[in-house]
Amino acid sequence: MFETVLVANRGEIAVRVIRTLRRLGIRSVAVFSDADTEARHVREADQAVRIGPPPATQSYLSIERLLEAAARTGAQAVHPGYGFLAENAAFAQACEDAGLVFIGPPASAIELMGDKIRAKETVREAGVPVVPGSNGSGLTDAQLIDAARQIGTPVLLKPSAGGGGKGMRLVRDEALLAEEITAARREARGSFGDDTLLVERWIDRPRHIEIQVLADAHGQVVHLGERECSLQRRHQKVIEEAPSVLLDEATRAAMGAAAVQAARSCGYLGAGTVEFIVPGADPSAYCFMEMNTRLQVEHPVTELVTGLDLVEWQLRVAAGERLSFGQGDISLTGHAVEARICAETARVTAGVPRTEGQGRVDFLPSAGPVLALSEPGGEGVRVDSGLALGTEVGTAYDPMVAKVIAHGPDRRTALRRLRAALADTVVLGVDTNTGFLRRLLEHPAVASGELDTGLIDRDAASLVPVGVPDEVYAAAALLRQAALAPAAAAPSNAEGWTDPFSVPSGWRLGGEPAWTEHHLRVPGHEPVTVGVRPGKVRIGGAEPVPAELHTDRDRVILHWDGVTHVFRHAGTWLGRDGDAWHVDGHDPVEAALRGAAGAGGTDTLTAPMPGTVTVVKVTAGDEVTAGQSLLVVEAMKMEHVIAAPHDGTVTEIDVTPGSTVAMDQVLAVVTPTAAPQEES
């Protein structure tokens, strides 16, 4: 076994690998960019080496710097985690050339399965069914369009290199093929350095089921059952579970055998995952999609139902050991479900009407410091996290910051435990999707197991609250009121008397106390004025409600109209049941002046998230039409297109490609085309 292993990754997966290394008595070496100097994986490793500044191309994607770090620390092996260089054949080969053991498959298997076109051809020859699609590599835009027309829309555009949903585009309208191919190539080139695409038939309401495999260097290959990964958004998994409620024992065995055959066809070694697309109406018609030649984000659910530590077996196989079990020794016990916590904000797309359960929701990357953190525990609950109090969540890397996993004797118990664990999760200072995930797990289709990959896209709006609960504004206003009254806690003079005019109690001579008004705003929502007087709070123009607030360290206890609400509190943030609200002050006078100057109006396009401008398609003076793409902002490997809100002229453009922007920063102004005057 190895003495020292370098973990060539960051965040929660680096922390998770370090945990197993520590248990096995193996010295761990972390690497970090300048953005991760105080990151949790740096603190938990036995040693850490700085490898450069962000972006990742100068740090976590720099093969030269990673190999230098391994040489400086005496590492004998490198664990790549997932993402970055985990599926990079050149990195695996460079490790081998440097005398390091790459904890993963050989470079030849990574190269073969990393090319989705060759991978499909290889497994087809091995007798594994594949999804119908284009043939050949290096297809031009015209050839891709031709192949799509032959298949018939809807089709899925996919990068040949890489994975994780990056660069994938579902195209239902043939007229949009050229535009979507351009966008898919750009994102694939940015994510993987390779813009080769393929096109596949899109199966409506499909299920995404994958099989975990393990292979040693002595010819033994086994599968560890399946994972259901159908709950996805933008082709990226959100909730995963094991086993799948869809499969019976016969289908499970057949898919497992196909996965083993796929692994053998490329000379696989270590832990890998074979992914299948499965029609919900006919699970026996499964088709191979791709093979991920690395550990998967969702590997914990397999660990919990099999009792195996997959990182440990990656290490043992890489060290030359045989698997100590065969296919017949593997059994699945109970059920496990995982939720991915991401730093992101749910926002309704501009210009789309929003009512309860209707409207399109965008999930935009969020950033900020972790001001308060509480991770759940209890029976059957596991947390894999890269967060720590004070962690600065930026936009340079993937938005996933933690995973919460629950195991139980059956699916119902596992789901219930996971919902409770998410309600106990507190992250304040940066927006996360924790509350959304908790509501998703309560969706009737999720509870019944009637899943498909389009469920979230169809029903996301019903899982995002329309507004901010009144009690949140009440708690925020009462906290601000208390902060304005330091004199209330101590007498103002030696006689113990407090001047009633020195505190904002609303006290006045011979009359009912006046209202103290607090102007508040939660990003993405309209400003609200909250009136406070002793014992009562008034939200906007509503009737006053009896209210009383108590604080206990970082907890806020609000008695509101006969109901007690408990929040976690940090700065201007409040959290409850997995949801969090940044309730900040709002100056109506300043806003009015800004509006009068034209900023923030319907003509102004602002950044929906902090990030980097990657594409600018217009200049000042250009005539544009409603819906026309003007700019692209990228953050955490996500692209967001900024479109014209109406026909008009670009009268201001404030950014260039490469500009770093903050959320709500003005990007451009489009002055609407004047309506023709009617003849008198």
Contact partners, residue 100, CB within 8 Å, separation at least 6: 6, 67, 70, 75, 76, 77, 78
Say if CB 181 and CB 149 are below 8 A apart.
Answer: no
- Tokens 């005496």 -> residue: 74
CA angle (55 as vertex; 54, 60 as ends), nearest 5: 80
pLDDT at 355: 44
pTM: 0.84
d(CA 315, CA 6): 12
Query: Which fold does the domain 470-485+515-586 belong to in CATH?
Result: Glycoprotein, Type 4 Pilin (3.30.700)
Burial 194-209 (b: 16+ CB within 10 A, else e): bbbbbbbbbbeebbbb
Amino acid at 483: A
Question: Alpha helix locations (H) across 272-326?
Answer: 299-306, 310-318
d(CA 42, CA 7): 10
Q: Structure tokens of 84?
A: 């970055």
pLDDT at 376: 97
Answer CATH for 132-202 from 3.30.1490.20, 3.40.50.620, 3.40.50.970, 3.40.50.2300: 3.30.1490.20
Phi, psi of 346 (to 5 degrees): -85, 125
d(CA 62, CA 68): 10
Specify whether domain 598-672 bears CATH 2.40.50.140: no
Q: Do domains 106-114+204-333 and 336-460 have the same CATH topology?
A: yes
pLDDT at 599: 43
Q: Structure tokens of 647?
A: 């026909």
Query: Exposed, middle or buried: residue 525 (CB in 10 Å: 0-12, 13-18, 19+)?
Result: middle
Minimal CA–CA distance to 325: which of 316, 333, 335? 316
pLDDT at 592: 60
Specify whether domain 4-103 bears CATH 3.40.190.10: no
C-alpha to C-alpha distances, 181 to 176, 188, 228, 573, nearest whole angstrom: 9, 10, 29, 41
Give me the architecture of the 106-114+204-333 domain, per CATH.
2-Layer Sandwich (3.30)
Contact partners, residue 501, CB within 8 Å, separation at least 6: 507
Domain boundaries, the chain: 4-103, 106-114+204-333, 132-202, 336-460, 470-485+515-586, 598-672
Answer CATH for 336-460 from 3.40.50.300, 2.40.10.10, 3.30.470.20, 3.40.50.1100: 3.30.470.20
Minimal CA–CA distance to 502: which of 511, 491, 510? 491
Q: Structure tokens of 526?
A: 């309209």
d(CA 239, CA 432): 15
d(CA 432, CA 399): 9
In this structure, the strands spanning 27-33 and 47-52 are parallel
Say if CB 188 and CB 255 are below 8 A apart.
Answer: no
d(CA 153, CA 151): 7
Say if CB 164 and CB 83 are below 8 A apart.
Answer: yes
Question: Alpha helix locations (H) across 193-288?
Answer: 249-265
Q: Could you tell me which residues are beta bridge partners of residue 517? A: 531
Whether residue 80 is preceded by a cis peptide bond, meaning omega within 30 degrees of 0, is: no
Minimal CA–CA distance to 305: which of 271, 340, 332, 266? 332
Which residues, given as ranges, of the chain have pLDDT below 70? Answer: 164, 348-359, 486-511, 590-602, 636-637, 675-680
d(CA 465, CA 471): 14
Minimal CA–CA distance to 454: which of 143, 119, 149, 204? 204
pLDDT at 622: 93
pLDDT at 222: 98
Amino acid at 489: A
d(CA 467, CA 475): 16
d(CA 559, CA 251): 54
Burial 553-577 (b: 16+ CB within 10 A, else e): eeebebbbeeeebebbbbebbbbbb
pLDDT at 55: 80
Measure CA 400 to chain center: 4
Can you give the length of the chain in residues? 680
- Tokens 């260097």 -> residue: 217
From the DSSP assignment, how many helices (H) and strands (E) are in the chain?
A: 17, 39
